[in-house]
Amino acid sequence: MNVLMISLDPTLAMGGDNIVGDSQRRHIAYGEHLTGLFIVVMGAKTRDLRPQRLSDNVTTLPVSCREPFSYIWNTYQSCLGICRANKIDVIAVQDPFLTGFIGYLLKRKLGIPLAVQLHGDFFDNRHWLRENYKNPFFNFFGKWLIKRADGIRAVNYGIKQKLAGYGLPEHKIWVVPSPVFLTKFEQCSTEKIDDIRKRYTLVEGMTILFVGYLTKAKNISNLLRAAKIVTERYTDVKFLICGEGEERKNLEYLSQELGLENNVIFTGEIPYDKLPEYYHACDIFVLPSNHESFGLVLLEAGMAGKPVITTDTSGPRDIVVDTVTGFLVPPQNPEELAARISTLIQQRELARQMGKNAHKHIASSFDTEAGIKKVIDMWADTIQLATDRRKEQ
């Protein structure tokens, strides 16, 4: 089976020390089950991307957006060239918007089955709709496009239920979270942990960690407002905000406005290989997103044996066992978030027990090889559904 993938993940076209996350490793694992995996990466203009041969049968080709007016056209032409040079069996796109549109054009022209991935709980999500004035248009367009897909991959059951409510046949929707490699987060040397604690002066008190992109969707401002409440009662608590994004300056300004300069540290982007040290150096992990499709960081924190506090949205509900491995709290509610953080500060034995429960739950529930096989099976089933439909016509 040959797969053409259209992706927005720039790390797939990075080399050397710039690799962030386990994305390349995951796609190499996909390739072990395929004849060929051809990945066209719609890369950010600020990234230094280049074609990569990740393995004997996995290649990536980046398309730069330095010329925005020709961005979509250039990506379409690159994909068309791959399809003409290779017998592509299925086109897999990362979202129902930009990559989905290009995949749909290729399907119309070449008759190749289209598999659309939904990595986010976008449709009719009031928080997402408010994040950008363009999102209401994307909401309408995305719902139109997924009805024309041959297969849909949702990363959690809440998204599948929503799609079924739109009248999409359930046999065309697969729930397949992104396979993840988690064993590296289980262990970390004492020396590395101590180094992190000394670097950020975390020797005393409790440390609350956030890891992720600093975007509106992650709603770190809600965490900062909760931090204000917590630090008024507990002065020896520090919040590490790890990541970069367009909201960083706004968040740093808000932190100063709230008087949190001594309690909140913005570390910037942390190399993926260094993340286990940060998870093990913290006491509590918090993900305050307005909407979250899955929550890979919740798995990583859980494997490090840390309790997690996150918002009660569709993705985290599939990962966190409320009051057992952590807490689920309402979005946009800094008071409730602060109350749950305070509970774990006051009850450290409860925090440690939740961390142990989290590790046990994640290790037993999220098998990497099984996840990879589900993705491959979903692509194969999408091809079969498209073939059966053509026979019926």
One domain for residues 151 and 253: no
Q: Which of 42-46, 56-60, 92-96, 369-373 has the lowest mean pLDDT?
A: 42-46
CB 88 within 8 A of CB 2: yes
One domain for residues 240 and 115: no
Is pTM beyond 0.75? Reply is: yes
One domain for residues 198 and 79: no
CATH code (residue 221):
3.40.50.2000
* Counted domains in the chain: 2
pLDDT per residue as tens digits for the range 229-274? 999 999 889 999 999 989 999 999 999 999 998 899 999 998 888 9
d(CA 181, CA 204): 32
Can you give the residue range of the structural domain that contains 255? 183-365
322: three-class secondary structure by DSSP:
strand
One domain for residues 192 and 107: no
Tell me the two tokens of residue 110: 């070449």
d(CA 333, CA 288): 9
266: three-class secondary structure by DSSP:
strand
pLDDT per residue as tens digits for the range 163-175? 999 999 999 999 9
Residue 85 is predicted with a pLDDT of 93
One domain for residues 338 and 322: yes
One domain for residues 114 and 200: no
pLDDT of 220 higher than 60: yes
Bridge partner residues of 64 (DSSP): 43
Of 156, 130, 96, 101, the closest CA to residue 315 belongs to 156
